[in-house]
Structure 1
């Protein structure tokens, strides 16, 4: 991997220079925005997306709610597991950051001395996005778009090769998909038990609201388009 990065004519380095070259011609305020977005903003957006998806599946209620909430919980855990697996992987590959081997890059974030392959940010965001996709296609595709934007930002900032990002996407996707059957087999009974406990509102919030509405003689709320998508 290190030998590949030393060849400035290879596609990985060429694409790195093309994307990072945009930063050289951009105003400084835009570079600062890209750093804020690439380091923290898109991660926060993914957290909000997961929280929103959790709220929607819990609000929907029904017998499927525990399984759906288990899927959302797995999305979060998938990001954590993928990040942990990346620690030994980065040390094994031992690839320096691109600015170590290539002069002339516009590095927007200084002081990064850890290894480059694979990208933590790309790994976590894609793992969570694919986990959400298993629950809801619509919100999962939104999450995948966020992950792709994260990967672009990392290369734009000059701190990651494109293959670092692609490797992160592959690792995150593999963890979220391959471990999902086992994770959901364990998490679904747990969420079902939580649904019957005093904190069951975290899993089946609308059921209590539906019973209260029934006592008042009001109809149970109809599912929204998002709810139908989450049920798909």
Structure 2
């Protein structure tokens, strides 16, 4: 194994790619498709989360917009690490392993960490922060996408494991740190004079806004009733 990482998972890689070759052809095809189709599905979920948040409070809208941005940032971090580590792909470096199910990426397209897994981990966590009830879907999606990268033969197990953790951590930090200032921006967008901007930001929760206004009015000091002029 030719690797600059301190972890050696080449034996596990051989076992997984060997198992992949023993699976039915339809499962191999499904893994090849899923390794890319999962990214598209995450994109659809980002759009759905944003659309749902348009009628939520400003913080919900901010998180829904931050979710894909955090995922993109995680990808950039992954690329920077990948360029620094320069780990060769297992489909070229592991002796005695079965052939990859897909074409091995060209030399210079390094292996550690897995970009797909980083994106999957970031997208899954960011979507959970934006729409908690999606956890049952996004988390298994991310794990399956990461595993598919080893299954088709283009990544080591440690590439995808670290990729998942890296993406999840980056997305969590970006969304958590950006939620409060993002909410202020979302509130400003909803008050914009530009129709397209107001459409993007959505109407918000009208009922909640009405309650807030009512509460603000009731809390305001009321003038004392006029009691007429006193005479002595």
TM-score of the two chains, using structure 1 as the length reference: 0.77
Matched, 1:17 2:7: no
Shift in Å, 1:13:
2.2
Query: What is the rounded CA distance, in whole Å, between the counterparts of 1:56 and 1:179 in structure 2?
Result: 21
Q: Flag the 1:6–1:177 CA change in 2: closer, same or farther, 3 A.
A: closer
Answer yes or no: is the 8 Å Cα contact 1:31–1:108 preserved in 2: yes
Report the number of matched residues: 201
Change (3 A) 1:139 1:194: same
Structure 2 partner of 1:214: none
8 Å Cα contact 1:131/1:177 also seen in 2: yes
Q: Are 2:43 and 1:50 aligned? A: no
Task: Choose from 130, 133, 145 the match for 1:135.
Answer: 130
Q: Distance in 2 between matches of 1:5 and 1:207?
A: 50
Aligned partners of 1:155 and 1:162 also within 8 Å: yes
* 1:82 aligned residue: 74
Aligned equivalents of 2:141, 2:189: Cα separation in 1: 31
Alpha-carbon separation, structure 2, partners of 1:107 and 1:146? 22
Instruction: Give the match for residue 221 of structure 2.
Output: none
| Structure-to-structure mapping, 1:119-130, within 5 angstroms | 119-130=114-125
Q: Who is 2:105 aligned against?
A: 112
Matched, 1:201 2:193: no
* 3-state DSSP of counterpart to 2:21: helix
Structure-2 change in CA distance of 1:134 and 1:155 (3 Å): same
- Give the TM-score normalised by the residue count of structure 2: 0.77
From the CA coordinates, give the structure whose radius of gyration is larger.
2
Listed as ranges, the gaps of 5+ residues in structure 2 are 208-232
C-alpha distance in 1, partners of 2:186/2:167? 24
Distance 2:62 2:204 in 1: 17
Contact in 1 for aligned 2:4/2:86 (Cα 8 Å): no
Partner of 1:213: none
Which among 28, 42, 45 is matched to residue 31 of structure 1? 28
Aligned mates of 1:89, 1:160 — CA distance in 2: 15
CA 1:6–1:97: 2 relative to 1, 3 Å: farther
Cα deviation 1:71-108 (Å, max 9, x = unaligned): 11111011111111122211211110011121332312
Instruction: Structure 1: state its 5+ residue gaps.
Output: 211-232
Quote the offset at 1:35 in angstroms: 0.8
1:69 is matched with which residue: 39, 61, 64?
61
- 2:155 paired with 1:163: no
Greater CA deviation, 73-82 or 97-106? 97-106
Name 2:87's counterpart in structure 1. Answer: 95
Aligned alpha-carbon RMSD (Å)? 2.5
Distance 2:6 2:184 in 1: 51
Provide the C-alpha distance between the structure 2 equivalents of 1:111 and 1:4, rounded to a whole number of angstroms: 19
